[in-house]
Structure 1
Amino acid sequence: MTGVLIWTIAAGAIGGVLLRPKDWPEAVWACLGAVLLVVCGLLPAAQAAGAVAKGNDVYLFLTGMMLLSELARREGVFDWLASHAVAAAKGSPSRLFTLVYLVGTMVTIFLSNDATAVVLTPAVYAAVRAARVKGLPFLLICAFIANAASFVLPISNPANLVVYGKQLPPLVPWFRTFLLPSVVSVIATYAALRLFVRKDLSGPVESEEGAQRLTSGGKLASYAILGTGLVLIVTSTLGKDLGLPTFLAAAVAVLLATRARVAEVADLAKGVAWSVLPLVAGLFVLVEAMDQAGARDLLVHGFERCAQLPRITGSFAAAFGIAALSNLMNNLPSGLLAGSALQSFSAPPHIRDAV
C-alpha cells in the first residue's frame, strides 16, 4: 500500500510539473509532492533532507549558469549575437539560418541548453522579426540545437551532472566518448532542419546599417563567459566537481559587472528563474521516494539486461529506453531516476554513456 501511495503522489506531482494546472509554477507541484510524501509518513524527513543534499553540486552549477545567462541577457550579449548574425547574412535567409545555428551551438556548448532555450530564443525571434523573415525556422533552431549540442561538454546540459553524479568523467575521457557523436548530432540536426524549412528560407533579409554595438558591460559579460568556460574546462579536465567553480566564476562576473552595487546586483537577481532550484530539490525527493518504492530496482534490472546484450545492442536499448521515459515524464526526473539506478550498481561505461 505504501508503494502505491508513493507512486500516486509522485505521478501526480510530475504530472503537475508537466501540465501546470492552474498555471502554478513547476516548482510548486514538485515541492508539494515532496512535502506530501514526508507529511504522510511515506518518506522520513531525514531521508528527504538527504535527498535534497544530493543535489548540492547541481544547485551551484545551475545558479552559476543562470547568473551568467542573466548577466549576458541584461548587457545585451544575446541581442548583439543575433544582430551580428542578421548583418553577416548580407540579405540571404539561408546564410542567416546557418549563422543562427552556429550561434545556438556555441551558446548551448558554453552556457548550457537552458540558456539557448530560454534566453537566446527571444533575442533570435526579435532579430528575425526586425529582419522581416519567417520566424519558425529560427525558433526551431533554438529548440533543436539545445538538444543536439547538449553533450559536447559536461556543462552543456545540467542533466549530464545528474546522470553521472560523482562519477562524471574528466574532459579527455568525455571527449573520447562524446565528441564524435556530438559532431554527428549537430550536423545531422542541421541537415534535417534545413531540409524541413527549406521552403520558408526565401525572400531578402532586411538589416539596418551595421550590427548592434556591444556595451562595455556586454564586453565584460562576454569575457566573463569565456573566462568561466576556461575555468570549467580546466576543472573538468582535472575531474573535479563543476558546481562550485561555476558559481564562484559567475559571482565574480556579476560583482565586476555591477561594481558590487547592491541595487544593481538585486536588480540582476530579479531576472533569474530561482524557482528552478526548488523544482530540482523537489524532484530529488520524489525520486528518492520512487527509488524506495521500487523504481531503482526496476531500472537496475533493465540496465543489467542491457549490459548482458552485445555492446551496440545494449547501448541502443538503454538509450532508447531512457529516451522513451524522458518523453513520458521530462528529461530531468527521468535523468534523476536513471542516475540513481546507475550509481547503485557497477554499470558498464557503455551503458552509462548511452543513458
Structure 2
Amino acid sequence: MPLIFSIAVFIAALILIVWKPCGLREAYPALAGAALLFAFRLLAPADAAYIWSFVWDATFSLIGIMLFTSLLDQNGFFRWAALHIVRRFHRRQVRLLVGLSLLAACITVFFNNDGTILIMTPIALEVTALLKLPRKAKIAFLFSVGLMADTASAPLMMSNLTNILTADFFGISFGDYAKVMLIPGMTAIVATVGMTALVFGRTIRREENREEAPHSFPAPGSAIGDKRLFAVSWIMIGVMMAGYLVSGRLHLPVMAVALVGAALQWAASAALGKANFRQTVRRAPWLIVVFALSMNLIVYSLYLHGAVGWFPDALGPVTAQGAAAGIFGSGVLFSLLAAAVNNLPAVLVSSLSIGQLGGGPSYLPFASLLGTAVGAKLTPIGSLATLLWLQLISRGGAPLTWKEYVKYGLTFTFPILFCALFALWLVCR
C-alpha cells in the first residue's frame, strides 16, 4: 500500500505539473504531493532532514546565482551582448542562430540553465519579431536557445542545479569536476551548434535578405543602464570564477561564492542607485526551490518504498561490460530516467543508485550528469528549464505542441548525447 500510494502521488503531481490547470505553477502540486506523503506518514521529518543535507548547498547556490544574474540583466548586460550579435548577423541568419546559441551557452556555463531561459527566451522572441520571421523560422531560434540551456549545462559545477547536487553527494570539488566535465561539456555545446545549424539551416536561409527585414537595430550601448556598473559586472564575474576555483581548496561550499558575489553586485548597484531591492528579490527563484525540494521528497518516498529498486540492478550489468559500454549504456539509462520523471528527481535516484553500487566506476556520476542534462531534452517534462521555456514561448505567441516538441527532442538529443558521452569516454579511459 505505501508503494502504490507513493506512485499515485508522484503520477498525480506530474500530471498537474504538465497540465497546469488555471495556470498553476509547478511548485504547488509538488508541494501538495510532499505534504500528502508526510500526512500519511510515508515520509518522516528525518527524511526531510536527509534531503535537506543533500540539497542545501545547491539550493542557496541557485538563489545566489539567480540574484546575481537578475542584477546583471536589470542593467542590460545580456541584451547588450545580444544586440552585438543581432546587428552583425541579422542578414546572415544561420550565423545569427549560431551567435545567439553561443550566447545562451555562455550564460548557461557561467551562470545557470534556468537563468538562460529567463534571459534569452524574451531576447529571442524580440529578435524574431523585429526580423518579422514566420513561425517555422521563429521556432528554430527559440528552440536553439531552449536546447542550449540544458545541453550547455555540463562543463562547470554551477551551470546546473543537478551538477551541484551530484558534486556535493560524491564530494567532488569545483576543480576536479571541471577536469572531467569541461571537455564533454564543450563537446555537447559544439554538437548542439552543429545540429541546430544542420536541422534548421534550410528553413532559416529562406528568410535571409528579405526586404521587410529592418536595416538597423538599437546600438548595443543603448541597452546598458549604467556603464560603471557594467564594468563592475565584468570584474565580479572574474572574482566569482576565481572563487569557485579556490573554493575546494578552502573547503568552502559553492553557495558561499554565489551568495557573496550576489551581495557584492547588489551593493555596487545600490551605491550607484541602480538596485531595485523588491524587484531583485521577486525575481529570485523561490518557487524553483520549492519545486526542487518537494519533488526530491516525493521521489525519495518512491526510493524508500521500493519503486526505483530496479535502477541499481539495471546499472550493474551495464557497468560490468567495461568503460565504453558503461559510459554509453548508463548515459542512456540516466537520460531515459530524466525524460520520464524530470532531471531533478532523476539525479537523486541516480546518486542513490550509484551509492548502492558502492560508488561504481568513477565515471558514473559524470555519465549521470550528461544523461540528466542532455537526455532531459527528450520530453517537455525532462527539465524545469524546458517547462519554463514552454511557458515563455506560449506567452510570446509561439506555442509548441507536445508532438512538435518530441519530434525535435528525438532529432537533437541522442546525437548530442552520444558526442558528449564519447568525449567523456576519451577523458576517463
TM-score where L is the length of structure 1? 0.90
For residues 263 and 288 of structure 1, the distance between their equivalents in structure 2, rounded to whole angstroms, comes to 39
What letter corresponds to residue 302 of structure 1 in structure 2?
Answer: A
Mapped partners of 2:217, 2:18: distance in 1: 41
Which amino acid in structure 1 is aligned with residue 319 of structure 2?
A
Provide structure 2 residue ranges, at least 5 long, that are not aligned to the other structure: 369-429
Q: Does 1:124 align with 2:124?
A: yes
- 1:94-113 equivalences in 2 (<5 Å): 94-113=94-113
Cα distance in 2 between the residues matched to 1:169 and 1:10? 30
The Cα shift of 1:287 comes to 2.4
Give the drift of 1:52: 3.2
Moved more, 221-230 or 272-281: 221-230
Q: Match for 1:354 among 358, 367, 374? A: 367
Tell me the percent identity.
20
1:171 deviates by: 4.1
Deviations 1:260-279 (A, max 9, x none): 98982122212223111111
> What is the match of residue 277 of structure 2?
265
Q: Does the 8 A contact of 1:166 with 1:241 survive in 2?
A: no
**1:150/1:168 Cα in 2 relative to 1: closer, same or farther (>3 Å)?**
farther
How does 1:70-219 map onto structure 2 within 5 Å?
Answer: 70-89=70-89, 91-133=91-133, 134-199=137-202, 200-201=204-205, 202-204=207-209, 206-208=215-217, 210-213=219-222, 214-216=224-226, 217-219=229-231
Contact 1:52 1:282 in 2 (8 A): no
Q: Is the Cα–Cα contact under 8 Å of residues 113 and 150 in structure 1 kept in the other structure?
A: yes
The separation in 2 between residues aligned to 1:157 and 1:128, in whole angstroms, is: 27
Contact between 1:38 and 1:44, CA under 8 Å: does it hold in 2?
yes
2:326 is matched with: 314
Tell me the alpha carbon deviations over residues 124-150 of structure 1, each in whole angstroms, 9 at most, x when there is no partner. Answer: 321343244543332122112112211
State whether structure 2 residue 327 is matched by structure 1 residue 281. Answer: no
For the residue of structure 2 that corresponds to 1:43, the secondary structure is coil
Offset at residue 76 of structure 1 (A): 1.3
Q: CA deviation at 1:108?
A: 1.1
Deviation at 1:39?
0.6
Please, which of 342, 350, 359 is the counterpart of residue 338 of structure 1? 350
Correspondence list, 1:8-23, <5 A:
8-23=8-23
Choose the corresponding residue for 1:301, options 276, 300, 313: 313
Distance 1:103 1:33, change over 3 A: same
Partner Cα distance (1:341, 1:251) in 2: 37
CA deviations 1:53-96 (Å, max 9, x no partner) are 43110111110111012112211112111111112226322332
Pairs aligned (count): 355
Aligned partner of residue 154 in structure 2, secondary structure: coil
Sort the Cα spacing of 1:329 and 1:260 in 2 relative to 1 into closer, same or farther, 3 A.
farther
Task: Give the TM-score normalised by structure 2.
Answer: 0.76
Q: Distance in 1 between matches of 2:90 and 2:303?
A: 55
For 1:281 and 1:241, the matched residues in 2 are separated by: 19
Quote how far apart the aligned CAs of 1:237 are: 6.7
Pair 1:294–1:215, CA change in 2 (3 A) = same
